[in-house]
Amino acid sequence: MNWTSPLYRLYEHRLIGALPRDRMPAHIGVILDGHRRYARQEGKADLLETYREGVAKLEEFLEWSAQLEIPAITAWVLSTENLDRTSADLDPLFIVLEELLRAIPALARRLGFSLQVIGSIDLLPASLALAAKEAERDAQFGGWQFNLALGYGGRQEIVDACRSLVSGLVQSGVAPEEIADRIDIPAISANLYASSIPDPDLVIRTSGEARLSGFLLWQAAYSEFVFVDPYWPAFRRVDFLRALRDFVHRDRRFGR
């Protein structure tokens, strides 16, 4: 099918029309995977160009989400493990991520979202960390929530949540022998990076990989997963709509 044809647009329209509003996800997590493999497949030697394509796709994805009135999106663009890659891989990615962060306030104003950057920002290059803090400060326009997972690791988030919880208990004067009794599921959940939004209903990963790789480990306990074949820069609106169609037809029992 020609994905720019009127027939394709009709197909998209029908997919949207078949999505019941009362079964749509309130929070979608998305793992933006496959940039380097996409570059090899397309014969692109310049990773900078490929990462820019990926950022353009993320901006499109946020537009699609706004049109569908999805209340919250969490996009994983850089993991703590990614930071072990070579400078040849990381330097162009850092450049493009900084460009993204500089552009986000204007995008947030246009689409009506508020930004939260989650992850170990202190592990990032200074200029990128500063751009993240400034973007988070300047991109607060109410409406729906966009979380950008940057230097993020799911295990580290749980460790940080436990540390934050225990530190808070100590500061509030809880006796050491009582601290263990105060550590429970709601308490840890309240100390996660983005504790104010619900757990993701749906997690989408591109590039054909069928694993979470540590993404939202705590929050995704009862999420539905959709693994799609296209690499992130090649991810299309129709792929998104098909993932949503798959989601709304699932019987979610939450372990019951």
pLDDT greater at residue 138 or residue 3: 138
pLDDT greater at residue 74 or residue 142: 74
What pLDDT does 111 receive? 98
Q: Does residue 2 register a pLDDT over 60?
A: no
What pLDDT does 73 receive? 98
What pLDDT does 6 receive? 80
Q: Is 246 a catalytic residue?
A: no
**Residue 118 — very low, low, confident or very high, per pLDDT cuts 50/70/90?**
very high
Can you tell me the mean pLDDT for 115-120?
97
**136-148: per-residue pLDDT in tens?**
999 999 999 999 9
**55-71: per-residue pLDDT in tens?**
999 999 999 999 999 99
Window from 1-15, 16-30, 162-176, 206-220 with minimum mean pLDDT: 1-15
Q: What is the mean pLDDT of the chain?
A: 95
Q: What percent of the chain has pLDDT over 70?
A: 98
**22-33: per-residue pLDDT in tens?**
999 999 999 999
The one catalytic residue in 33, 147, 191, 201 is 33
In order of their start, the domains of the chain are 24-153+198-248 (3.40.1180.10)
Residue 161, phi then psi, degrees to nearest 5: -65, -40
Q: Is 22 a catalytic residue?
A: no
The one catalytic residue in 2, 22, 46, 82 is 82
